[in-house]
Structure 1
Amino acid sequence: NTAYFSVAQDFFGDLTTLSLAYARGWDSVGKRGQAESDWEDKDLQNYKLGLTQVITKNALFSIDVDVITDEGKLENPYRQNRYVDPNDSTAYLYQPEVYPDTRTSTALGFRGMYFLPYRASVKLEYRYFSDSWDIQANTYGVSYSHAFDESWIFETRLRYYEQDQARFYSDLFPFANSQTHVARDKELSTYSGITYGFGVSYEVKQGVIPFVKRLQLSLLADILDYDYENFRDVTASGSYLPGEEPLYELDAWVTRTSLIVEF
C-alpha cells in the first residue's frame, strides 16, 4: 500500500520552483503458501525536497534531496545466503537471509540542462547515495536530445553507476549464523555498471487527427553492462571450490515502447 503527496510553488517570476513531497508505504511480507498471520510488516517513509532554477533562457539547474526510512521485514523471504559446509570444505549450504530491522538512506542529486541553438539539448546529472548499512554509491549521467522537422525527436544517453557493499554482505560466509545479519543479495555487493541508451519519438500535432490534441509514439532501448566485484556465479559450469567461482556479470537489453494520446 502506498500514499503519495506533493506540492510545488514558483517564486521570482516563475524562475525558481520549490517542491516538497512525501510518500508513505505499509506492506505485509511473506511467502507463498505461508499463513498470512505469519507475515511481517514493512513500513516506508520518503521525504523529498527539490529546487529548480532557471539560470538563463537556455539553461536550467535543479537539486533534489531524498531521505527514506524503512522499518520491519526488509529482507526478501525467498532469498538465501550460503556458508561453507562444516562437514565438507569443498561444498556449501544455504540459510535464510537476515537484515537489520531499520534502514535510513539519503540521496542528493544535481541536474543541469542546456538548450542548444540548433533545436537540441544536453543534460548532465550526478547523484550521491548513502545509507545506514554503509552502502555508498555514485551515479553519473549525460544525455543528448535532437529534434528534426516538427515531429521527430532522437535521443542518446550514457549512465555510469558504482557502489560499495553493505557491511553485512558476503558472497560466502565461513559458517552458519556467523554474524547477526547476513545477506548475499548482489544488489548489496560492490559493483559498477554502464548503461547506454538511445531512443526515437514521433509526435502528431494537434489538428492532424480529428479530436486528438496530441499523439506520440516512442521507442527506447538501453544496453546494460554490469560487473560485480565480490558476487560469484554459482551457476557457472565447471568444477569450482566455494568462493572461487567466476564473478557474476550482467549484460542485458531493455526496450520500452509507449503510446500517448491526448483528446
Structure 2
Amino acid sequence: MLIDSHCHLDFPDFQTRLPGVLAAATAAGVGRMVTISTHIARFETYRALAEAYETVFFTIGTHPHNAAAEPDIPTDRIVTLSAHPRCIAIGEAGLDYHYDKSPHDVQQRVFRTHIDAARETGLPLVIHARNADEDMIRILSEEMRRGRFGAVLHCFSSGPKLAEVGVELGLYVSFSGILTFKNSDDIRRIASAVPRERLLVETDAPYLAPVPHRGKTNEPAYVANTARALAEVIGVSDAEIADITTANFYRLFSKAAQADRLATAS
C-alpha cells in the first residue's frame, strides 16, 4: 500500500469529482490520503471529508500564505481542534518567502504557535518551507532545544543544508512530483542522502503532477509515480518503497496507525 501523505482534497479542483478521484487512488494502490489544512477557519470542511471517506485523514493549521489572515489563533484553539479522532497532525505551517503573501515576522510567529501545538499534543507538524532555509533552520533549532516535537518537511524543494539539519533534528522528509522533473537532479541527490527510515511521498495535489502527468491536475493516484522515482533514486523496488514509506508514515503519524488498528478491530 502507498500513502499520499499530503494533498488538498478540499480545493475546487476536486469539488465535482472527488469520489472518482478517491476511487482512482484506491485502484492505484493508494490506501490512505491526508488532506492538509491551509486555513484553521476551514476545520469543518476537513472534518467532513475525513468523516465521509474512510481512506482520508486530515490536519489542522494555517499555511504561511494565510498567516496574516489568521495571525492570532492561540495554541489552545489548535490543540482543541486537533482532538478530533481523524485529525492526525498540525499544519501545514511554516515559512514561504517566495510569494511573500504574509509578512515574515507574522509567518514566523504563527509557525512557532503551531510548533507549540505540536509539542503539546504530541502530533507531528507538517512544515512548509520555501526560499526560507536560513530562518527555517534557525527556528527549528531554537524550538527543538525548547522541547522536542515530530515533524515532516513536506514537498521538499529546499537546499541540502535544510535536509541535513532536519534529519539531525529527527524530522522526516517528504518528496513530491518535483522528484520526477527533468531539472530536479539536486532534489534527487538530496533524496538519495536522506535515511530510508525518514522518507515519505506525497502529491501536494492538485499541484505538481509528476511525470508523465505534467500539465494535468495532480491527484492522489499519481503518488505512485513519485514513489517509483524515489525507488529508482535509492535503488529499491516499487514494492520496497511502498513498504518503507508506509511504515515511516505510520511511525510519524501514530494517531493514524491507532485509528486504523481500532477500525480493524471493530
Q: Same fold by TM-score, threshold 0.5 exceeded?
A: no
TM-score (norm 2): 0.25
TM-score (norm 1): 0.25
Q: From the CA coordinates, give the structure whose radius of gyration is larger.
A: 1
Higher strand share goes to which structure? 1
